[in-house]
Amino acid sequence: MNYIWDILIKAEEQGIRKSDIKFKNADICSPYMETSFSCLNTSFLNKDIPIEVNPCYRYFKIFRELFDINLQEDKEIRDVLLDILLHFLGELDLKSGIVKEEFIKLFLLRDIENRVYGHELAENIKEFEKRELDTILNGILTLSKAGSSLFLFTKIIKNIFNSSIVYMNKNTNKTLYIYLGVEKTKENISRISTVINTFLPINVSVKLFWDIHFGIIGIEDTMMINEIVVVE
């Protein structure tokens, strides 16, 4: 829950009235996040605990004078005004086109977790970190609009596995050789399986290489003994 609109959506999901949600200026906050929770992975709201917010994250021009550190008067009035304005801005967010895609991703994730797209995907999706999960969801939205493509597939591979390299067989464009640059673990198998099963075009096959690269004649860095595998 990184944004005020995210809080309002979560409140509705939990059956909490929006009017019961109270926003307050965070005593300590990150300049890179709008909400401030002691636990970054917080997924449950307590209506009795005010939501601490960095109001200047997106709305600096609105709140810079209201919360000037040199201003000490009328703190209670300013706190009430902040809560009212953040509720208003949150509602504007929910009605704006910018948030529409985020809405869709939230419902998409809920469907995945509820096994609408199968048991395997519901289990494998748990292995992705928040940034990676956002990459997967954005990719699915792109897939629904434009269809599968090697460009989309390789882009997602690179975003999920930062050290990966994707090669195409020059003799046939139907086979990809993918060096992932990570150890072959249960978690990583689940992650790459999700990417392949979801985004790989049906007429393309892949050969995976984990933390050991395959040898490429003419490139010395890939021809080190005990550090390469042979491709048949």
Residue with tokens 């979801």: 198
pLDDT digits (tens, 9 = 90+) for 189-215: 999 999 999 999 999 999 999 988 765
Domain positions in the chain? 4-95, 101-229
pLDDT of residue 116: 94
User: How many whole angstroms separate alpha carbon 216 and alpha carbon 207?
Assistant: 15
pLDDT value at 69 more than 70 = no
Backbone φ, ψ for residue 189 (5° rounding) = -65, -45
Please state the rounded mean pLDDT for residues 88-107: 79
The pLDDT tens digits for 216-227 are 544 454 444 444
Angle of helix 75-95 versus helix 97-113 axis, rounded to 10: 80
Q: What is the pLDDT of residue 112?
A: 94
For residue 73, pLDDT over 60 is answered with yes
